[in-house]
Amino acid sequence: MEKEEFVKARTKLNKTQKEMSQLLGVSVKAIYSYEQGWRSVPTHVERQMFFLLSRKRRDRKTLPKQCWTIKKCPPKRRKQCPAYEYKAGRFCWLVNGTICECKAQKTWKEKMKICRACEVMADLL
């Protein structure tokens, strides 16, 4: 997550830096550092931020479809995917080891590149 995305997300959540630090379990100085670009946003903070954003979706009636429906995953691939196993089709971006683009991604950064372009996350930021 880039600094601009972090600021945009915090603004969308309507939180001050202090409130955001309390929600994410980090210091106010850390929040300031992320927003200035002095420190990169750690994976666990990015995940929490996206989770909070997902719970604030504007129109709860237009939630995205399950990821395996969007990606048209065949039954065999579904059974190998932890998002399917844990019924997390709308939170697949939160689960490591998902089989998007026909293979499990090795890093969070690779995974998020795919997730950000997917309909499941389309309206979060």
Tens digit of pLDDT for each residue in 57-115? Answer: 765 566 678 888 888 889 998 888 888 998 988 888 888 888 887 778 888 888 888 88
pLDDT at 123 over 80: no
CA distance readout (Å), 12 to 34, 58, 123:
16, 10, 11
Where are the domains positioned within the chain?
3-56, 62-116
For residue 59, what pLDDT is reported?
A: 58
Q: Give the three-class secondary structure for 93.
A: helix
pLDDT at position 19 over 80: yes
For the domain covering 3-56, report its CATH number: 1.10.260.40
Q: Which pairs from 65-68 meet CB under 8 Å and 24+ separation?
A: 65/89, 65/119, 65/120, 66/90, 67/92, 67/98, 67/100, 67/118, 67/120
What pLDDT was estimated at residue 12?
Answer: 92
